[in-house]
Structure 1
Amino acid sequence: MFPVNINNIVVLQREEHLEEIRQYNIARRRMRDGSNPFDLRTDIFKKSFRLNKEMARYVYNSVAENIDTTDNIVAVPPILKFFATLHFYATGSYQYSLGQNFNLSLSQPVASRAIHTVTNAIEERLGHLWVKFPTTVADKMEIKGRFMEATGFPGILGAIDCTHVAILAPNEEEHNYLNRKNFHSKNVQLICDYDLRILNVNAQFPGATHDAFIWRNSFVKQHLERSYNQGDHNTWLIGDSGYPLQPWLMTPFHNPAINTPEGRFNDIHARARNCIERCNGVLKSRFRCLLRERVLRYSPEKVGKIVNACSILHNICIAANLELDENIVNEEEINNERFQNDAQDNIFRQGEATRRRIVNNYFRNN
């Protein structure tokens, strides 16, 4: 048993240590409250958060009420949770440069919790406003007209492709996330218009899932099939040869001769489809947390939410014509897989007839 005086010393030292921690946390809070990310120089602000100041105010005002608040004197203010999350999206890192001292006082666990809260808020408050697949006649005609004007290919409602977002190997069903490129990922389906606006994002599936399976189980496929059965025979997406040919999804011909109607169809099809490859590149270059080299260290469900939030912010940037002042990263590999259509399948035969009609009406002559 310790002498009384030793016990008193131990207790006193513990109390002093706790008081030091309390004072440190108060000082850290004052440092956070005394800084304002909006005071950053415009170019540094954009580089740090990928949005301009006006866009950031709009997004923050839209989601602020969904971000946790507390009277705790050492709690992180909601606005700094917001900017910590934007910075993570932009860089994929919890580390901050010296010029960003507003964030130096956030520990990694605090930043991680902020990312979770703010990501949910962006998805819940802004998702239905900024990522919308066109369903009205007017919206469809606008998108199809833009593709036609730019490429000469009729009826296109969007271009579709999948991209892999790297994650840590999950504890459950790990094998389902190991993709054919031999890293763990979510396989994310994106559909975009000609101007790189994301019309639909599906981040539910693990990396080993084939692109065609994701498409087959998507609400967009069901919507387009239903529209076709109701009489809309002049609307389709375009995808590469890894997708099935369907009357609402046009894929290229297999090895057509050069300068034939089928060859010209393929050339224009590839030119129109290039927008989805550029969209993937711009999205990942703008929000570098999605790059393969970053590897998101969250559960697959949280990774899907981060992808959704980044897609929403991407569309806000596109709407504001905000240029990306960096080289676009292209980490996508050419998909050499070819979907083997069943020649006896009625949907495939209808797709063949639709593709042949397009060739005859638009690509028969030079």
Structure 2
Amino acid sequence: MLQNHNIFRMALFFILNEERRARKIQRSRLRDYANPFELPEQEFFHNYRMNKPMALYLCRELEGALAPRQRHGLPVHIKVLVAIKFMAGGSYQREIGQDHNLCVAQRTASKYIGQVVAAINRSLKPKWISFPGTERERRDVAAAFQEIYGLPDLLGTIDCTHVSIFPPPRPRGLQFINRKGKHTLNVQLIADVNCRLLHVNAQYPGRVHDQFIFNHSVVKNELRRLYDLRIGSYYLLGDSGYGLEPWLMTPVLNAAPGSAEERYTAWHCQVRNIIERTNGYLKGSLRCLGLDRSLHYSPEKSCRLIYACCTIYNIMKHFRVEMDEPLEEPVQQHRPEPVPQAALYQAALNKRNQLIFTYFN
């Protein structure tokens, strides 16, 4: 009886292995006959959420990292399209692989999504997401804001957004539960006047306060350095969840109707809408980050995927890819953390008052 059972198991294993081998050959043949770049432009965009020039740019830039190491390895363009389709569509990996132009198994899709994400973060992220580090770059960003919104020295708008992730095991998982009871990463974004991302920090759990993330960011260190060395008078705009600092201007709460403070706050809200729209475009175009999605990965892998998505978002902006906005996220009002140094707070208050007196009286 035992011998018959073993024979049955071996026969079943052989049959399943042959079926797997046959599917692999079939997928390979389908890929050989299909060329995604021969699709009409509109169909290509519908399938992969980007235009052909952007896809060709990604394939060219990532070829060194993604070129097949073996004769039967998948070509670079298949790996890139699988990864971007997953990021932009937010579907499951099995559904991505069932695209007749790609034809890859779920395990293969998972493998190459990881490879493409790593290649994007290594090769493209430093080129496409960078906070202005030279005086010329700072002047260019500030001049673009001033041309449209009238005030000088503004380097960007800042806010945080939550991206849902699969619940990590306890007790560690508790720190990822945000104010709404969901497991998330709290992602800091800074955008310029054209809704282009200048900085992304996706390393913190959902329970962490926005101000804490900013306090420990390289951007605050850079702005503090410029302030201490008296290089310009640069600042960011943030909502009332942040504390007022010389390099971070916040709205005036409960400003008197018709006052200069109310006009300043109205201007502040208008300009700060840039970061809200940026977040909307990001989650609407890279739908794996969307409100109705959850990244089924560890926090570390989710963090890497968020960085790659933000890089792709900036590249989409460059190639003028049409973007979608999701439903607006509900505005969360946070109690600002106190600024520890009274002297800095007074300097920030003086700076804000000077802006109000000069431009809104």
Q: What TM-score does the superposition give when structure 1 sets the normalisation length?
A: 0.91
Paired amino acid for 2:317:
I
Amino acid at match of 1:138: R
CA distance in 1, matches of 2:13, 2:166: 39
Q: CA separation of 1:70/1:273 partners in 2, compared to 1, >3 Å: closer, same or farther? A: same
Q: Deviations over 1:67-97 (max 9, x none)?
A: 2624364x54332121111101111113548
- RMSD of the alignment, in Å? 2.5
Cα-to-partner distance string for 1:218-239 (whole Å, 9 max, x where unaligned): 0000000001000035210000
Percent sequence identity is 36
Unaligned 5+ runs, structure 1: none
Partner of 1:251: 250
Query: By how many angstroms is 1:34 displaced?
Result: 2.4
CA–CA distance in structure 1, aligned partners of residues 198 and 55 of structure 2: 22
Superposed displacement of residue 23, structure 1: 3.2
> Partner of 2:207: helix, strand, or coil?
coil
- Answer yes or no: is 1:302 the counterpart of 2:312: no
Match of 1:289 in 2: 288
TM-score by length of 2: 0.92
Partner of 1:36: 35
Shift in Å, 1:59: 1.0
Once the two structures are TM-superposed, the CA of residue 98 in structure 1 deviates from its matched residue by 11
Structure 1 partner of 2:329: 332
Q: 1:205 aligned to 2:204?
A: yes
Task: Quote the Cα distance in structure 1 between the aligned partners of 2:16 and 2:243.
Answer: 66
Distance in 2 (CA, whole Å) between partners of 1:361 and 1:2 is 91
Question: Does 2:359 match 1:362?
Answer: yes
Kindly provide the amino acid, as one letter, of the partner of residue 257 in structure 1.
A
* Residue identity opposite 2:123 in structure 1: R
Which residue in the other structure is 1:79 paired with? Answer: 77
Cα separation, partners in 2 of 1:2 and 1:336, compared to 1, 3 Å: closer
Give the SS at the match of 1:159: strand
Q: Letter of the aligned partner of 2:305 in structure 1?
A: I
Q: Tell me how far 1:151 sits from its aligned partner.
A: 1.6
- Conserved? CA contact 1:153–1:269, under 8 Å: no
Q: Tell me how far apart the structure 1 counterparts of residues 67 and 117 of structure 2 sit (CA, whole Å).
A: 12
Closer, same or farther: CA 3–60 of 1 in aligned 2, 3 Å: closer
Q: Which deviations, in whole Å up to 9, do the C-alpha atoms of 1:156-186 show, x marking residues without a partner?
A: 1000000001101012510111100211110
Distance 1:251 1:100 in 2: 48
Instruction: For 1:11 and 1:127, locate their aligned partners in 2 and report how far apart those are by CA, in whole Å.
Output: 49
Give 1:348-359 correspondences, 5 Å limit: 348-359=345-356
Which SS does the other structure have where 2:189 is aligned? strand
Which residue of structure 2 lines up, in the alignment, with residue 135 of structure 1? 133
My pick for the range that moved more, 31-40 or 279-288, is: 31-40
CA distance 1:314–1:14, shift in 2 (3 Å): closer
| Residues 240 and 336 in structure 2, CA contact (< 8 A), matched pair in contact too | yes
CA, structure 1 residues 83+343, in 2 after alignment: closer, same or farther (shift >3 Å)? closer
Q: What number of residue pairs does the alignment pair up? A: 359
Structure 1 CA distance, aligned partners of 2:118 and 2:107?
Answer: 17
Q: Separation in 1 of the partners of 2:48 and 2:117?
A: 14
Correspondence for 1:117 among 115, 125, 147: 115
Please list, as runs of the form range in 1=range in 2, the aligned pairs for 1:222-301 lying within 5 A after superposition.
Answer: 222-301=221-300
CA offset at residue 135 of structure 1?
A: 1.6
Give the conservation status (yes or no) of the 8 Å contact 2:44–2:52: yes
Q: Distance in 1 between matches of 2:290 and 2:9?
A: 50
